[in-house]
Amino acid sequence: MGQNALKQAALKETALFLGLLFFGLVLMPIAIYWVGQNVFGRYGGYGYADFFGTLSENIRGGDRTAWFFVLSPYLVWQLLRLTLSGWRRAGQRAD
């Protein structure tokens, strides 16, 4: 793999990470708050701002659960990649 191809792959992976981090930081909390409101009823705090404030406070405080929540879209994507790679390799060995 040439240096240019390596740079391009790193740039692509960084863009993917940042896009999925944005999804985990911005879009997922909105969706979870909305679904929670419609399924379980009113949030115990003072609305979405309080919900997001608590989440961002936990992230800044280094709470592992909050970080897992935010990074979960990227982690799921990597798990899918790993699974597909394993299936491909298993299929090659069977031939």
Percent of the chain with pLDDT over 70: 97
3-state SS, residue 68:
helix
**pLDDT tens digits for range 29-68:** 999 999 988 898 887 778 899 999 999 999 999 999 999 9
What residue spans define the domains of the chain? 3-94
Q: How confident is the model at residue 95 (pLDDT cuts 50, 70, 90)?
A: low
**Burial zone of 70 (CB within 10 Å; 0-12 exposed, 13-18 middle, 19+ buried):** buried
Class of residue 49 by CB neighbours under 10 A (exposed 0-12, middle 13-18, buried 19+): exposed
- On whether the pTM is more than 0.85, the answer is no
φ and ψ of 63, to 5 deg:
-65, 125
